[in-house]
């Protein structure tokens, strides 16, 4: 199927751009500043039709997902592969979700993340075992 979603691990400017576009409304920095801040993170590109539409970013056992363009195919396979690797290496994976992001929280819970703590704006989640592995 030509429209299938694929992932590639690389720190490409397209992956940085995809994540930056997904969060630029929340930041007061340029894309270049964002790339500099994120230089120690690993980017797993999510591509569809040879176009980078998003990325999973990883540092240690922490991961986050963002899209510049919502994929029309499920990314669950790519997320669970990445999540399983992180758990196998680190014993667990962690992420954060803004409290206003109800869909993101539902997605994380379906994967197996549980809320560990919260503050005024976000939930801190931890996953010891992916539900789909």
The residue with tokens 């500099």 is: 36
Report whether 20 contacts 34 (CB < 8 A): yes
pLDDT, tens digit, 9 for 90 and up, residues 8-36 = 444 578 888 888 888 888 888 998 999 89
- Condensed to tens digits (0 to 9), the pLDDT of residues 92-125 reads 999 999 999 998 899 899 889 999 999 999 999 9
- Which residues span the domain enclosing 37? 5-127
- CATH number, position 12: 3.40.630.30
132 within domain boundaries: no
Total count of domains within the chain: 1
Q: Answer with the residue of higher pLDDT: 123 or 45.
A: 123
Is residue 52 in a domain? yes
pTM, 2 dp: 0.79
Q: Is residue 133 part of a domain?
A: no
| Residue 60 falls in which region: left (phi positive, over 0), alpha (psi -120 to 50) or beta | left
Q: Is 112 left (phi over 0), alpha (psi -120 to 50) or beta?
A: left
Residue 109 included in any domain: yes
Nearest CA among 59, 55, 64, 72 for reference residue 4: 72
Q: Is residue 57 part of a domain?
A: yes
């Amino acid at each position: 199927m030509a429209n299938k979603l694929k992932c590639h691990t690389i720190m490409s400017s397209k992956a940085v751009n995809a994540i930056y576009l997904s969060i630029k409304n929340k930041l007061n920095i340029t894309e270049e500043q964002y790339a500099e801040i994120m230089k120690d993170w690993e980017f797993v590109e999510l591509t569809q039709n040879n176009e980078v539409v998003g990325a999973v970013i990883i540092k240690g056992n922490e991961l986050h997902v963002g899209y510049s363009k919502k994929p029309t195919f499920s990314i669950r396979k790519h997320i669970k592969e990445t999540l399983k690797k992180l758990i196998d290496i680190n014993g667990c994976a962690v992420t954060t979700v803004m409290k206003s992001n109800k869909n993101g929280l539902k997605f994380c819970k379906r994967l197996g993340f549980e809320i560990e703590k919260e503050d005024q704006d976000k939930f801190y989640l931890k996953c010891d075992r992916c539900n789909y592995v």
